[in-house]
Structure 1
């Protein structure tokens, strides 16, 4: 089911998201939770909204392009080793499949993502 039909708008910043605890093996600090909603799946791509509460977690990334809507965070790159990126509203970031990262969220982070 698509939440985003042609010629319509969705308020991605206000969309309610149900959160689940981050799996214990991914927690680096705190007690973070994440939530997401798929807005559209067409042509093999997925467009959605993802959110993480304060804390830190490790992850292995998929191919993704995202735009930060709200929050304050840093994403650190474990493999490949790259400089950390500050995440704040307006940041546009591209990730590639297999990147190992650590997300440290100081203020709930919300992003709109696109995966191919």
Structure 2
């Protein structure tokens, strides 16, 4: 068993070509990996970044953020603890984090 809310993460600055605002960092740890997929914890500090998504389902444990969808275009979503979201590979997004965001994700 792992406590995802307090799991230690290794952080790195977001690459300059992905930064939209601020100086965000991200960190993650893989909790389990097997033939059925990967389970991990990911965190982003305040700021904004562009990303190209992989297939995953995640649940927000802590923080506050908005995800905008550049492609395919759809309405932004507001994330808060308890939010559950499914992302599809290739989606182009902008993550704007107001309070450090921590999520547990499951990816194939």
Shift of the alpha carbon at 1:43?
1.2
Alpha-carbon distance in 2 for matches of 1:99, 1:92: 17
**Where in structure 2 are the equivalents of 1:37-116 lying within 5 Å?**
37-116=29-108
Structure-1-length-normalised TM-score? 0.92
Aligned alpha-carbon RMSD (Å): 0.6
The residue number in structure 2 matching 1:13 is 5
Alpha-carbon distance in 2 for matches of 1:77, 1:11: 30
Unaligned runs of 5+ in 1: 1-8
- For the residue of structure 2 that corresponds to 1:107, the secondary structure is strand
Structure-2-length-normalised TM-score? 0.98
Which entry has the higher C-alpha Rg, 1 or 2?
1
Shift of the alpha carbon at 1:16?
1.2
Deviations 1:9-35 (A, max 9, x none): 210000111210000000000000000
Alpha-carbon distance in 2 for matches of 1:66, 1:73: 14
The residue number in structure 2 matching 1:30 is 22
Unaligned runs of 5+ in 2: none
Alpha-carbon distance in 2 for matches of 1:76, 1:38: 26
- For the residue of structure 2 that corresponds to 1:73, the secondary structure is strand
Segments of 4+ moved more than 4 angstroms: none
How many residues are matched? Answer: 108
